[in-house]
């Protein structure tokens, strides 16, 4: 199936929004701790590398979509303290855990953003898109709110294409993450769901093709920690 067909098909419909909100409300209190444990301390480094890739400039207006506890906003703020930053998420309990002053908080669904066209110079989204009911629609909405030539950074768990690493990665996701995540968060179903969304999501090649059908061009894609996560830098086609 081509990515175009995929985009239009039912398979693009991710988990329903209400279920996603419930899952993130449940795991919000332990979300940051679990990220650190499950990524073996790598997730903070991934966001730092990704922040440098998107290279925000003084005074620019940036959107951190699916911001969760604001970890990406904090990484951006570290390298550019005077960035005008908006953190949006549709799950109030997780967004409320964002440190004060990291960004302006907005409760919003990424599929229907409450911003005018061409509001932002750039956007970031980390580990959020694969939870969207329709990731292609989310990317188009991001293109809408970006200024012409605006840039973005998607940090995501894309399926590795190398079979050796892919095998280890699948084992890690199937066995270790649901077990440790379940024990520490108290919600086995939440972590089963989260790893399930990774298996069902795009490979790197498929994702690049999706991005290029939604108003962007891919500028650079960088594998992090042997491809466990991928940072994709994009630019809006003017």
Ligand X SMILES: C[S@@+](CC[C@H](N)C(=O)[O-])C[C@H]1O[C@@H](n2cnc3c(N)ncnc32)[C@H](O)[C@@H]1O
The bridge status of strand 120-126 relative to strand 61-65 is parallel
Rounded CA-CA distance 226/224 in Å is 6
- Closest residue to ligand X in the complex (CB): 68
Q: In terms of Cα–Cα distance, which of 10, 131, 14, 7 is closest to 65?
A: 131
Rounded CA-CA distance 178/197 in Å is 12
Q: Which of 71, 177, 211, 229 binds ligand X (CB under 6 A)?
A: 71
Q: Which of 37, 111, 180, 184 binds ligand X (CB under 6 A)?
A: 111
Piece of the chain touching ligand X by CB under 6 A; list 66-74, 97-105, 181-189, 207-215: 66-74
Tell me the site size for ligand X, rule CB under 6 A: 20
Rounded CA-CA distance 86/64 in Å is 6
Residues 6+ apart with CB under 8 A from 138: 65, 110, 111, 125, 129, 132
Nearer to ligand X, 18 or 164 (CB): 18
Residues 6+ apart with CB under 8 A from 168: none
The bridge status of strand 146-156 relative to strand 229-236 is antiparallel
Piece of the chain touching ligand X by CB under 6 A; list 109-117, 146-154, 164-172, 222-230: 109-117
- Say whether residue 60 binds ligand X (CB under 6 A): no
- Say whether residue 156 binds ligand X (CB under 6 A): no
- Say whether residue 110 binds ligand X (CB under 6 A): yes
62, 86 contact by CB (below 8 A): yes
Piece of the chain touching ligand X by CB under 6 A; list 63-71, 114-122, 145-153, 173-181: 63-71
x/- binding map, residues 19-58, to ligand X, per CB under 6 A?
Answer: -x---x----------------------------------
- Contact footprint for ligand X (CB under 6 A): 17, 20, 24, 66-68, 71-72, 89-91, 94, 109-111, 126-128, 131-132
């Amino acid at each position: 199936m081509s990515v175009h067909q995929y985009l239009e098909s039912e398979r693009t419909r991710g988990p329903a929004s209400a279920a996603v909100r419930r899952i993130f409300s449940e795991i919000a209190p332990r979300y940051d701790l679990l990220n650190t444990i499950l990524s073996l301390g790598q997730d903070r480094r991934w966001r730092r590398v990704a922040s440098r890739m998107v290279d925000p400039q003084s005074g620019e207006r940036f959107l951190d979509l699916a911001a969760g506890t604001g970890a990406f906003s904090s990484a951006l703020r570290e390298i550019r303290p005077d960035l005008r930053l908006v953190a949006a998420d549709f799950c109030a309990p997780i967004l409320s855990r964002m440190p004060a002053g990291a960004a302006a908080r907005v409760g919003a669904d990424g599929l229907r953003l409450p911003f005018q066209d061409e509001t932002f110079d750039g956007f970031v989204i980390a580990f959020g898109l694969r939870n969207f009911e329709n990731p292609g629609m989310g990317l188009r909405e991001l293109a809408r709110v970006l200024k012409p030539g605006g840039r973005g950074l998607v940090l995501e768990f894309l399926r590795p294409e190398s079979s050796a690493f892919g095998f280890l990665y699948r084992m890690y996701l199937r066995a270790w993450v649901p077990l440790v995540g379940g024990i520490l968060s108290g919600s086995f179903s939440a972590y089963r769901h989260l790893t399930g969304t990774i298996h069902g999501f795009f490979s790197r090649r498929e994702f690049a093709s999706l991005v290029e059908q939604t108003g962007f061009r891919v500028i650079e894609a960088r594998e992090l920690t042997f491809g466990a996560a991928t940072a994709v830098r994009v630019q809006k086609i003017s």
